[in-house]
Structure 1
Amino acid sequence: MRNWKFAMASTILGSALLLGACGSTEETATGSETADSASDEAVVEGSVTGDGSSTVAPILEGIVEEYAAVQPEVQVTVGVSGTGGGFEKFIQGETAFSNASRPIKEEEAAALEEAGIEYTEFLLAYDGLSVVVNQENDWVEDLTVEDLKKLWVEDGSTKMWSDINPEWPDEEVVFYAPGTASGTYDYFNEVILEEEDIVESATLSEDDNTLVQGIQGDPNAIGFFGYAYYIANQDTLKVVTIDGVEPTPETIESGDYSPLSRPLFTYANNAKIAEDEAAYDFMQFTLENAGQMAEAVGYVPLAVEDYEQGLADLEALK
């Protein structure tokens, strides 16, 4: 089985993924048993397109690569324009599935209804949105939810570390955050900012690797993104506990890492999935392997029965 946690550190996604199915002969990350059982199935041909969350992308990146070994005649393209950007394409009918790090919004659901697109929500895994600082930062170990709000809400002031604790350096805080099209931004905005404006000085990007690199390069930097991106870069970043709780698979699954634990989704276009053999086959492979891949890249898998329910919901689309 490929070590996806380490593979992510060097290949953790640019602006898009295009892992076509052109001939990987390596044993899949789901093991030879999965590959052997799949080899008995009919060969599927076609192309499948998805888009959406950069947080969900590490799961899909692994799944797409392993699927290429099972169905080499299917080309799967997965963009990472953020949850909101992905839903825009989904509403336009451009994609068969849309990855999301937050539930679909009412206005997005209404737009899909207006467009005549029926969809199904599939839960893939759980994430703990991780607040991180530069490894040279030796003063921040823990922040409260109120500290986070004080830091990140725009109030017209220049934010200094000493504003949170007078014993901390009188240095300006440098902020990195997901872009406004990101579901991670939406989630942080809801549970931390409480719909107030984010600090204007923040560097925003839908590409989590840009955030990682920015924080790595500045001792006064702070940022947040999905847990898998922290795990992939934990040797060069320091995670901050929130109200004394560190994000771990255990605290994320239990809900103790609150309020920054959250579910990760993919949304399927019912008609495309039902009518396109390649789209259906890929979605089935995704649900069958999401738990193992989520754990491999640093997220928290669902209970087995939750994946079984997802597969039952998928089969109902036929």
Structure 2
Amino acid sequence: MSQLRPYAGATEASECPATILTCDGRTLTVTGNSPADTPTTLTPASLYHYRHLREEPSDSVRGLAALDADGLVLLDLPGEWQPADLQEFAHEAGIPLTDARMESSKRVRAVLASRAPSWQRIRGLSPSPPAKWHKPAAICLAIAGAALMTYLISVGLWAAWRGISVVGRILLDILEAKWLLVLFSPALLFLRPLLARTHRRRIKRGTIVSAHGGGPYLSMGPYDKLQITQAGKVTAEIRRGDLHGQAFSLLLYRYEGLTGLLILDIKGRAVHHLPGRWPPEDMNRFAKRHDLPLAIHKVSHEEYLDLTRNAKEATP
């Protein structure tokens, strides 16, 4: 078997990627289905078949990663890959295959966050931009929905509006016309810019710190716990302190072309790894406000391997 494709999406409800994986000896070529997914050729030391859980036990992320000789991720290919076909493909290519689908989700996430300098992810999905009329139509519907809501409430028919909203949301689920949500929740049209300004204000005050590109952000939660929030949900909480495994300091690292944030314990061991671009100025304000020691510096190859591969947990 010299060619392999995923048979389902990376998550339960996601689209199946159009990724194609071919081999010529130990050399792999990967093509996607998007202009951003340029064909990639690489010779990995091993393949890593993974699955890790998110918030709910049934909410898993599946995929295949190509690792270099140091165990760093060269390429991440989200999607569900048939185990038997993958084993045959790896055997034919002569590349060792690790089945990590039953390993601890924390361990899997730590491996996926340990990226090689040439790391990339090929999603295999073609972008489907909405039609040009979607946005103006949604705005008009939002205004009409707001007017209808105001009228019904002004004449004491709040229950009627709630009934219309419930029916509308049912229709949205059936028709999958998610952009029509603003008709039945018109407040979203006005709240979104307000929430964005509030988020930026909190960053300027040092209350939170956020990664570039809408990634996760850090905040200090109750009971002196450092919280990691992603997509509106708290995905991890780490108690501050000077004991093993507790958050004691922060390290904003740079290794070749890679950058990221490491939460360290008092012994300098990585408690949580968050790869990505974290603004140093914002990070400095956050660290000062919450009295967290912060280091910003370049790390060596050996330091990078030690910190990332031994991290207890990560947000890839």
Could you say which structure has the greater relative contact order, defined with CA pairs below 8 angstroms and 6 or more residues apart?
A: 1
Higher helix share: 1
Higher strand share: 2
TM-score (norm 1): 0.27
Larger radius of gyration: 2
